[in-house]
Chain A
Amino acid sequence: MIRFDNLCKRYESGYEALRGVSFEMDAGEMAFLTGHSGAGKSTLLKLLMLIERPTSGNLLINGKNINRLPHSKVPFYRRQVGVVFQNHQLLFDRSVFENVALPLQVAGYSQGDIGRRVRAALDTVGLLDREKHNPITLSGGEQQRVGIARAVVHKPKILLADEPTGNLDPQLSAEIMALFKRFQDVGVTVLVASHDINLINRMDMRIMRLNQGQMEQDGVSYGGY
Chain B
Amino acid sequence: MAATKSKTRDGGQRGARGQMLSRVDKWHSYRLHHQATLKNSTLKILREPLQSLLTILVIAIALTLPAALYLSVENIRQLSGGVDASAQISVFVKKGARESALKSLTAKLEGLSGVASVTYISAQDARDEFEALSGFGSALQYLDENPLPDSFLVQPLLIGDATRLVTEIRELKLVDDVQLDLEWLQRLDGLLDMGRKLVLALGAALGLGVILVVGNTIRLAIQSRRDEITVVKMVGGTDAYVRRPFLYSGLLFGMFGALIAAIFLTGLGFWLAGPVNKLALLYQSQFSISGLGFSGFLVLLLIGGGVGLIGAWLAVGQHLRNIQPR
A203–B219 alpha-carbon span in the complex (Å): 47
A77–B233 alpha-carbon span in the complex (Å): 11
Q: Are A124 and B238 in contact (CB under 8 A)?
A: no
Q: Are A107 and B236 in contact (CB under 8 A)?
A: yes
Given contacts A102-B232, A108-B21, A116-B11, is CB(A182)–CB(B4) below 8 Å? Answer: yes
Contacts of A195 in B (CB 8 A): none
Q: Are B235 and A106 in contact (CB under 8 A)?
A: yes
Q: Are A49 and B234 in contact (CB under 8 A)?
A: yes
Given contacts A109-B21, A120-B8, A182-B8, is CB(A89)–CB(B230) below 8 Å? Answer: yes
In the complex, whether A41 has a CB less than 8 A from a CB of chain B is no
* Chain A residues numbered 61-103 whose CB sits less than 8 Å from any CB in chain B: 72, 75-79, 83, 89, 91, 93, 102-103
A102–B236 alpha-carbon span in the complex (Å): 9
Contacts of B235 in A (CB 8 A): 78-79, 83, 102-103, 106, 150, 154
| Distance from A153 Cβ to chain B, minimum over Cβ atoms (Å) | 9
Contacts of B98 in A (CB 8 A): none
Q: Are B234 and A89 in contact (CB under 8 A)?
A: yes
In the complex, whether A117 has a CB less than 8 A from a CB of chain B is yes
In the complex, whether B164 has a CB less than 8 A from a CB of chain A is no
Q: Are B236 and A49 in contact (CB under 8 A)?
A: no
Q: Are A185 and B5 in contact (CB under 8 A)?
A: yes
Contacts of A105 in B (CB 8 A): 33
Q: Are A124 and B8 in contact (CB under 8 A)?
A: yes
Contacts of B21 in A (CB 8 A): 107-109
| Distance from A119 Cβ to chain B, minimum over Cβ atoms (Å) | 8
Contacts of B10 in A (CB 8 A): 116-117, 120-121, 155
Given contacts A89-B230, A102-B231, is CB(A110)–CB(B25) below 8 Å? Answer: yes
- Count residues on chain B whose CB falls below 8 Å from chain A CBs: 34
In the complex, whether A123 has a CB less than 8 A from a CB of chain B is yes
Q: Are B9 and A103 in contact (CB under 8 A)?
A: no
Q: Are A155 and B230 in contact (CB under 8 A)?
A: no
A116–B10 alpha-carbon span in the complex (Å): 8
Contacts of B25 in A (CB 8 A): 108-110
Majority SS of interface residues in chain A? helix
Q: Are A103 and B4 in contact (CB under 8 A)?
A: no
A150–B231 alpha-carbon span in the complex (Å): 11
| Distance from A109 Cβ to chain B, minimum over Cβ atoms (Å) | 6
Q: Are B236 and A76 in contact (CB under 8 A)?
A: yes
A83–B26 alpha-carbon span in the complex (Å): 24
In the complex, whether B120 has a CB less than 8 A from a CB of chain A is no
A158–B150 alpha-carbon span in the complex (Å): 101
Q: Are B1 and A185 in contact (CB under 8 A)?
A: yes
In the complex, whether A180 has a CB less than 8 A from a CB of chain B is no
Given contacts A75-B233, A91-B227, is CB(A109)–CB(B29) below 8 Å? Answer: yes
| Distance from B222 Cβ to chain A, minimum over Cβ atoms (Å) | 15
In the complex, whether B32 has a CB less than 8 A from a CB of chain A is yes
Q: Are B234 and A108 in contact (CB under 8 A)?
A: no
Contacts of B237 in A (CB 8 A): 75, 106
Residue of A nearest to B19 (CB): A155
Q: Are A123 and B236 in contact (CB under 8 A)?
A: no
* Chain B residues numbered 231-269 whose CB sits less than 8 Å from any CB in chain A: 231-239, 241
Contacts of A109 in B (CB 8 A): 21, 25, 29
Complex A-B: 21 CB contacts under 8 Å: A51-B326, A72-B239, A79-B236, A83-B234, A83-B235, A89-B230, A89-B234, A93-B228, A103-B235, A106-B238, A108-B26, A110-B29, A113-B18, A116-B10, A120-B7, A123-B7, A124-B8, A150-B235, A152-B8, A186-B8, A186-B9
Q: A102-B235, A107-B21 are in contact. List 8 more A-B contacts (CB 8 A).
A: A51-B325, A75-B233, A75-B241, A89-B231, A91-B228, A116-B10, A116-B11, A186-B9
